[in-house]
């Protein structure tokens, strides 16, 4: 009998360690490698189902089903689409897998903190790797001498390669693991975690990591990332316990810092000049940046007018957009098969008004939770801000990097008031 009890004890102990290990490694590799993180996600859910359901939310945890409902909306929309491409659902499985994991597991404050800490470690590893890779690619051997040459394409100088892409230290050529918009989202989340959970990190590590992440966002030169960064910093000062006059001073300081950020980055300065000169208008032949997004938004709004209630289905939306691109003569979006580049518009097009409402509801609940959970209020507000700001510029539920980020942090946020404060 004693041996049986001992076997059960060690079996449960080892199972718990393996379960927690897979969870931490999933969190660590989330900013690093999509395939590896997916592998640990599969192992995590396997271990979760090997033990009895430990949740005692008593109905509160049902809120976790919202991302799963979003997944169901995708399934229904594909079923009624002309193009029944169910591979779309396979790419969005995180929307249902992670909610199931969180619903069946008891997410204590300690466990949530460990997930966040390992996410920061992974983000730090990804940043350092990208910088060393950029340096390695920029050093070439010519006639026995090492020459620094950061521009990727011949015939372009250092600054020109930054403006139009093709510099190892800027933009897409720096971001090895994710597109720049998603890497910037991850970095902003990392900064919010470091600021909120400062007691989990040593002071030197915290200072170094925040500085590195801000530098990475500058180098990635993603506009949504820059806006998100300064939104997170402003939220931090507004929610801090310092006096009102100090809050106002620090917010002004952040705004001035944002102007300096823009002026010292060639890509942002070029866009600012275009805005001030009134050059950001519908240009059918646009090929870069914000101007191409304007074409996608224009085509999306045109489509929504035609079917505002039901949308066009996840299987047919891209074809519908391509038709409008062709009719309007939007050459580059048609050639590149651009989506709506706005998650609100994309959700409306793919899943109709119901899908849009579910998507907005998730972010609304996260913001509401920020005012319920005093201990993690700033972090939850930051998650809401990151999701909402980037939703204006990117259809992040169309890529694994965006879906996994959205679902992971939504699940953490949606369990915050039921579990985090109780343990």
- Residue 123 pLDDT: 96
Over residues 227-252, the pLDDT tens digits come to: 899 899 988 888 877 777 777 777 78
DSSP for residue 283: -
Q: Which residue is listed with tokens 């646009």?
A: 286
pLDDT in tens, 166-212: 677 788 888 889 988 999 999 999 999 999 988 889 999 999 999 99
pTM, full prediction: 0.86
Residue 212 is encoded by which pair of tokens?
Answer: 């590195």
Instruction: With beta carbons less than 8 A apart as the criterion, state whether 401 and 233 touch.
Output: no
Q: What is the Cα–Cα distance from 332 to 151, expressed in whole angstroms? A: 24
Low-confidence residues of the chain: pLDDT under 50: 1-11, 57-59, 158-161, 163, 418-419, 421-423
354: which 2 tokens?
């119901």
DSSP SS3 for 216: helix
Q: Cα 369–412–130 angle (5° rounding)? A: 125
Q: Look at residue 10 in the predicted model and tell me its pLDDT.
A: 40
Label residue 324 exposed, middle or buried (CB < 10 Å: 0-12, 13-18, 19+): buried
**pLDDT computed for residue 246 by the predictor:** 73
CB atoms within 10 A of CB 276: 9
pLDDT recorded at residue 109: 79
Which residues partner with 142 through β-bridges?
145
């Amino acid at each position: 009998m004693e041996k049986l009890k001992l076997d059960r004890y060690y079996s449960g102990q080892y199972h718990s360690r393996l379960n927690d290990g897979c969870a931490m490694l999933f969190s660590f590799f989330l900013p690093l490698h999509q395939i590896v993180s997916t592998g640990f996600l599969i192992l995590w859910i396997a271990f979760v189902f090997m033990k009895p359901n430990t949740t005692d939310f008593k109905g509160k945890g049902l809120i976790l089903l919202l991302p799963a409902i979003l997944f169901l909306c995708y399934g229904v929309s594909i079923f009624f689409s002309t193009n029944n491409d169910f591979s779309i659902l396979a790419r969005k499985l995180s929307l249902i897998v992670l909610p199931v994991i969180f619903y069946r597991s008891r997410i204590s404050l300690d466990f949530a903190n460990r997930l966040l800490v390992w996410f920061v470690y992974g983000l730090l590893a990804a940043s350092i790797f990208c910088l060393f890779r950029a340096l390695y690619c920029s050093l070439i051997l010519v006639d026995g001498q090492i020459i620094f040459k950061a521009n990727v394409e011949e015939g372009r100088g250092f600054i020109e390669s930054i403006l139009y892409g093709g510099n190892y230290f800027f933009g897409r050529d720096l971001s090895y693991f994710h597109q720049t918009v998603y890497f910037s989202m991850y970095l902003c989340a990392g900064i919010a975690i470091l600021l909120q959970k400062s007691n989990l990190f040593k002071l030197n590590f915290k200072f170094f990591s925040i500085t590195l992440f801000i530098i990475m966002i500058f180098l990635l030169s993603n506009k949504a990332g820059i806006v998100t960064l300064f939104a997170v910093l402003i939220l931090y000062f507004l929610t801090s316990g310092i006096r009102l006059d100090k809050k106002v001073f620090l917010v002004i300081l952040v705004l001035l810092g944002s102007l300096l950020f823009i002026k010292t980055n060639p890509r942002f300065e070029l866009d600012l000049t275009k805005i001030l000169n009134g050059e950001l208008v519908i240009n059918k032949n646009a090929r870069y940046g914000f101007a191409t997004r304007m074409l996608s938004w224009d085509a999306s709004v045109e489509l929504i007018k035609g079917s505002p209630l039901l949308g066009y289905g996840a299987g047919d939306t891209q074809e519908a957009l391509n038709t409008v691109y062709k009719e309007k003569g939007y050459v580059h979006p048609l050639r590149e098969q651009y989506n709506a580049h706005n998650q609100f518009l994309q959700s409306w097009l793919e899943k109709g008004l119901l899908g849009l409402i579910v998507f907005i509801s998730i972010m609304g609940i996260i913001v509401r939770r920020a005012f319920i959970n005093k201990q993690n209020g700033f972090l939850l507000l930051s998650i809401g801000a990151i999701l909402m700001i980037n939703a204006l510029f990117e259809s992040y539920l169309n890529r694994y990097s965006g879906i996994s980020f959205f679902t992971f942090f939504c699940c953490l946020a949606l369990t915050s008031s039921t579990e985090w404060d109780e343990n």
